[in-house]
Structure 1
């Protein structure tokens, strides 16, 4: 052997040959003149080594000693996983400097790790109930492996993973994080908990990655076609809101639509219901819509205007009878649900929608408990108030739409309320916003993408119902009046008609205005109840509002009832005040943030004033002339106004107010020419036309 070495006079290198069992054998390769195919002839064992080769080989074994890898000199070195990691990280990089090469049965790769959460679900398969089909994957520098297999193959907690082609030496910190959370993640099978993980992309601060497919499914951007039978057009942001509702319903996500007042929440919801009607999904299960009594008429009007294809039934009032026939929508109120709960529990509902959802913000009231007992395939809550400002209120509404998702109230207080509201913990806030994002949509009038779509003033017709007392008074005013009018002529006839119109308008406003009684109550007037509801929302938004009425007496009633109910001072601007008094009231409203509500008679507040501090206008009673009404609104919407103005026109359903408003709208282009500046055009109607216009239609 010695002769052979001397004969070739070749240099040599040490070869460290590692097999699948992590056994390392050191051999010598002598560089000679052998051909490539006979290269193996140049590789020798330690027993065949020359003295010189044996002398230098000691330096290789010294490296193993240096890093505390057990070995016996000149013998094969059997490494365990811990030793192999030391070898790969410390010895492998310096082999070349020690005249050595590595030959391994698998490629040795130092690898970073990334935990990925994903799914194979397709869009038409995806729903909250199927989220347990989630996949946890560990991505390596080359390839990926299922977390369950990764966890099993690294049971000894050594940061090495052996696959068919590779020895992966794993990033220690990333490895320890994944190992620490692997068991917990693999045991998480509750769909809502899986969704929270996907949305937050973390567990206790440990960040993982959500795959593109799952990310697309939980944050869809699809815009659905508008139902063909919808009467009217949706603005772009309304199409987005409607599509979001449809997608959430399909996915099994409850929704909180919290757009600003006036942005069309009712229309977006009705469009979503119409979508499922056209898909044939309302045939066996109707949708239940629960609203404050003051809004029933408004919902009815919106259904008839925009979605006449949807059949509806109003279950409300003292003589109510639960419908035996099938309807697309059953419209009811919070109090009725509480009183007739068993009837609603016996019915299968497709959608269950509550409007003015702040009515269930107190989780322990009987009303809230009753509302939450009714089950449905999907639930939607509508509110115009910024619920995120009060987290416990948020929890109660969220518990309606997605029961259990935010855990119990006590757990929620510990996990979020205390940390966010008391400790101002940014991480808890970020997590909270992340896990609730798919379920809540809130757009503001001030959002740049919304402002571009809105007109400078947004006019909303709001419909009120008469109270029982108002119905009796209304019918009493009309009792025998048409026979009397029929016998009159000329100025006497016109005078009687105008007197009747005034009496009916005052009755629609409030019985106390017509009767002159001194102790008015909110519940005696449908308009007054509606006014309180809208004012509460405006106050929640910390905005100012201007309320117009034609009558000083009605202004006094509004001032009295609103100030007592909302416990705040209400300003009143009217004609009998001096110039200085008016100026002082206007300055207080314009400049002092403590004054949010100003009432003004139409003739006093409607001309020559600048009231741009208000971003809301309420016409409590209508003048029936568009020019006069617009002139009043312009007190708010004029140079200096930096906000879009929301205008609310109160109309009492089934009364002369609704009929006359309809007549005016059909003649809108000719309104200023064809209709006089007051109600005198009505005096020219025939008695039959008057009956149609003035008679009560319930």
Structure 2
């Protein structure tokens, strides 16, 4: 089939002078302002004003031009030329922010000046020479000078980690924010420390220190890894748990401090931080700001940082609004306003290609499943550990199921959700142990099929003198699980939950990581599902299910990460014939649903289920 005749189009070139002075590097930066020039193009070739005039004077449709047929919509082209010329003239003294120009180049969320027409098949947008060079640098197409690593780090870091360090440096030196989205356990902290130490060596941290914001359980981990990998990088803690906490009112320019680490809660509550302009800000486990409307997320996004990076193995856990929140911290304005972004994502009927093009330069994602990345990582095997309800559990379970019949008739999905969630929580408690549901201390193993199955499983683990970590979402059950397993292993284990003091958390990790240390550690999923390294364990047991694959995988990766030399077995305790069994089957059989729907947790998928689907879920046979 012959190619269609070329079409006359309006070409808008976006560029800046490239003469702006930045603190990062020569050329454009995120603060550059773009201006536009307007011309006409035919088949990829620019036309002179005389050639354009000749074409427009010959009417519409197929026109013979220089020996070939071309397509012309003269009225549309004249209109576009007039509107763009007027817009370019209006912006000749101001320009528009570079991030807004990037959105226009990929037909991203608009929110742009009303005078600017939307690009379509009659109007193409292209970057000019300076902007093209910046885009090529962001995409890694143009080699840039990356500082050499100290010999200690150079010998220690793996090739993909050096690539990650180069990515962070390349993007941030252009004034943009970067997200290192490596899978859990690939050494994001090490790569960020190498980046920070490079800033120190280049004199970028001689005034104010850099700011690191992380979950409370990771404060000691960051300090220890900085001392281990970059001993000349002095890191101090801003938290009441520290014996000598850094204080923004008193310690602004201390020479014995290159970086300060604090928690998300402290950063959000310490108003003095909002008045400072840090040379660099790092968000670790950056999914902590995923709720764009929360006070914490707004406070973190309002912090001022010359360079910004985010570390997250799961940059999007539930929905695309989390991506907006992350990018609004890294590159404010890149995805437009929250409202325009939501409207834009709803319009992406043919897939997310425009959105991917827009954010791809700023996110580096690598997976542990790539054998070329970490060829020496051992195998991970997932094994369901099925158990039956005892008669007592079955009777309690049925009473809650009976309550659901009336609840499912509620026509309002939001009201129905509020009625279902408490029952769902009680069903999970009953599956764990009747005493948890009843609020008593009689946790005899024979009363719970799950406790008996856990006992059997750990007898086998203890006989092989292997270690295990266990996750539960219920803090109240942790002491009783500890009592059960202490009897199985013949010695006490460790526990970590939201109430564990911060200084003790690293002590717990250190004790468990010793080969002769305690044989098991029980952790609450919410407090310990990220950041910790527990590679002495070759077994991971999920006592009860969070039903969010991303969250459960994060928890599993406390053991399955760099430094693990044993094959890891993942055991998920599942009560047969219950809600646990049915949802596990759905997660296994419907991977697309797991990715697109279930990753939002029970609140999201229960809200989206019809009454009939909910009936099948709670009352039908397992999928």
Give the shorter-chain TM-score range: 0.5 to 0.7
- Which sections of structure 1, spanning at least 5 residues, go unmatched? 1-109, 161-165, 460-508, 534-547, 567-573, 575-584, 600-613, 621-625, 638-698
Indicate how the Cα distance of structure 1 residues 302 and 219 shifts in structure 2: closer, same or farther if over 3 A, else same: farther
Contact 1:289/1:353 (<8 A) preserved: yes
Match of 1:196 in 2: 103
Query: Is it true that 1:338 corresponds to 2:283 in the alignment?
Result: no
Match of 2:46 in 1: 144
SS of equivalent to 1:618: coil
SS of equivalent to 2:240: coil
User: Where do 1:653-692 residues align within 5 Å?
Assistant: none
Match of 2:26 in 1: 124
- More displaced 10-residue stretch of structure 1: 168-177 or 326-335: 168-177
Q: How many residues align?
A: 404
SS of equivalent to 1:387: coil
Contact 2:496/2:505 (<8 A) preserved: no
Query: Is it true that 1:456 corresponds to 2:377 in the alignment?
Result: yes
Match of 2:239 in 1: 316
Indicate how the Cα distance of structure 1 residues 223 and 266 shifts in structure 2: closer, same or farther if over 3 A, else same: farther
Indicate how the Cα distance of structure 1 residues 263 and 116 shifts in structure 2: closer, same or farther if over 3 A, else same: farther
Q: Distance in 1 between matches of 2:274 and 2:360?
A: 30
Q: Deviation string for 1:362-414 (max 9, x for gaps)?
A: 12222112212211112211111151752011111111112222122222111
Structure with bigger RCO (C-alpha 8 Å, 6+ apart): 2
Contact 1:111/1:170 (<8 A) preserved: no
Match of 2:350 in 1: 426
Picking from 334, 337, 340, the partner of 1:411 is 340
Q: Deviation string for 1:506-538 (max 9, x for gaps)?
A: xxx9998899999985422659978999xxxxx
Match of 1:329 in 2: 259
Contact 1:132/1:194 (<8 A) preserved: yes
Indicate how the Cα distance of structure 1 residues 177 and 244 shifts in structure 2: closer, same or farther if over 3 A, else same: farther
State the shift of 1:441 in Å: 1.7
When the two chains are superposed, the root-mean-square deviation of aligned CA atoms in Å is 5.3
Query: Is it true that 1:210 corresponds to 2:126 in the alignment?
Result: yes
Contact 2:368/2:374 (<8 A) preserved: no
Q: Distance in 1 between matches of 2:231 and 2:527?
A: 40
TM-score (norm 1): 0.48
Indicate how the Cα distance of structure 1 residues 550 and 446 shifts in structure 2: closer, same or farther if over 3 A, else same: same
Q: Distance in 1 between matches of 2:203 and 2:41?
A: 44
Q: Deviation string for 1:469-491 (max 9, x for gaps)?
A: xxxxxxxxxxxxxxxxxxxxxxx
Picking from 277, 280, 300, the partner of 1:351 is 280
TM-score (norm 2): 0.53
Indicate how the Cα distance of structure 1 residues 447 and 564 shifts in structure 2: closer, same or farther if over 3 A, else same: closer
Indicate how the Cα distance of structure 1 residues 617 and 278 shifts in structure 2: closer, same or farther if over 3 A, else same: closer
User: Where do 1:228-239 residues align within 5 Å?
Assistant: 228-229=149-150, 231-233=152-154, 234-239=157-162
SS of equivalent to 1:129: coil
User: Where do 1:248-647 residues align within 5 Å?
Assistant: 248-318=171-241, 320-322=245-247, 323-324=251-252, 325-326=254-255, 327-341=257-271, 343-387=272-316, 390-416=319-345, 418-420=346-348, 425-426=349-350, 429-447=352-370, 451-457=372-378, 522-524=498-500, 526=502, 557-558=522-523, 561-562=524-525, 616=557, 618=559, 633-634=566-567, 636=569
Contact 2:176/2:331 (<8 A) preserved: yes
Q: Deviation string for 1:202-226 (max 9, x for gaps)?
A: 8246563636844442132236434
Which protein is richer in helix relative to its size? 1
SS of equivalent to 2:308: strand
Picking from 155, 159, 166, the partner of 1:243 is 166
SS of equivalent to 2:376: coil
Q: Indicate the structure (1 or 2) with the bigger Cα radius of gyration.
A: 1
State the shift of 1:293 in Å: 1.1
Contact 1:117/1:209 (<8 A) preserved: yes
- Which sections of structure 2, spanning at least 5 residues, go unmatched? 1-5, 19-24, 60-64, 109-117, 381-477, 510-514, 530-536, 571-623
